Amino acid sequence: MLMILYDLIYEDLSVGDIYRKKDRIEYIESLKQRLMQENMESSDEQISENTREANNSQGGGYKASNSSGNNYYNNENTDSKQQSSSANQQASNANHNSKRGDSYHINRKTLIPSPHKLTITHARILKIFNELKALAVDDYPNAVSVLFRVFIELSVDCFITNKSLIDSRLNVDSTLAYKINAVAAYFEINKILTKHELRAIRQMTASENQTQSIRTFHSYIHNKDVTPSSTDLKSAWDDIWTFIEQVWR
């Protein structure tokens, strides 16, 4: 618990860092590793202390006549331990930070995290993608929500055309949910993504009450009383990133 409080106060740990189950599991694992490291260091220090006490009790006269030498030895030993402890702590922090780096802060300013990059071959869709990376979602949630929905549909349309998936039932005039499910099925059949990896995008098309559902995205455009939330928009992007990334590979 003290480690978690330390991270919250000094390491800028936020809900966004452990928003998804994968992030929470990785964070718990990092806590276990840090706890094991601290226990090992504590054990090493106790052994060193016991050893010094035993040596002092066995050689009292020598200690009295060579206090300067012992002080020098003790200082060297203390400095060495401090350096070792510092190195171990740095390694632990680096490992912890690398795990947290896999997730993207929910309090980021834009819909799309800067590390997310796509090779988009269509000029207009590329412009929309770049605009979504530049617009401050807290300041322009309405603009971002509409552009986000347009980006999803145009991306799926390009994929369907490029892969020649168009038939009597599937075409650019089909519903967005139908097109997304068709592409998801293509990924699963061809073992590009697993059923587990496709769960988020399929929930988006199946659930009408989910804040990241296709119906909600339609409402952003057609319902004057529905206001988009920047947090919901960023969570939606994070959830479907795996799908979007494959669409443009």
- pLDDT tens, position by position, 57-109: 555 444 444 444 455 445 555 555 555 555 555 544 444 443 444 456 778 99
Average pLDDT over residues 123-128: 98
User: Which residue type, as a one-letter code, is found at position 154?
Assistant: L
Burial of 41 (0-12, 13-18, 19+ CB in 10 A): middle
175 versus 53: which is more confidently predicted? 175
The tens digit of pLDDT for each residue in 34-44 reads 666 666 555 55
166 pLDDT exceeds 60? yes
Point out the least confidently predicted range of 31-35, 71-75, 109-113, 231-235: 71-75
Distance of alpha carbon 96 from the chain centroid? 12
What was the pLDDT predicted at 106? Answer: 75
What was the pLDDT predicted at 233? Answer: 96
Confirm if 214 and 177 have CB atoms less than 8 A apart.
yes
Mean per-residue pLDDT of the chain: 77
248 versus 21: which is more confidently predicted? 248
191 versus 12: which is more confidently predicted? 191
148 pLDDT exceeds 70? yes
Q: Which of 66-75, 139-148, 202-211 is the most confident on average?
A: 139-148
State both tokens at 109.
Answer: 């300013």
225 pLDDT exceeds 90? yes
CA distance 4 to 94: 16
What was the pLDDT predicted at 167? Answer: 84
CA distance 50 to 55: 9
Confirm if 65 and 123 have CB atoms less than 8 A apart.
no
* 239: Cβ contacts below 8 Å, ≥ 6 apart: 200, 201, 204, 212
107 versus 28: which is more confidently predicted? 107
User: Which residue type, as a one-letter code, is found at position 65?
Assistant: S
Which residues sit opposite 136 in a β-bridge?
Answer: 110
Q: Residue 46 to residues 39, 53, 73, 245: CA-CA distances in angstroms? A: 11, 11, 18, 52
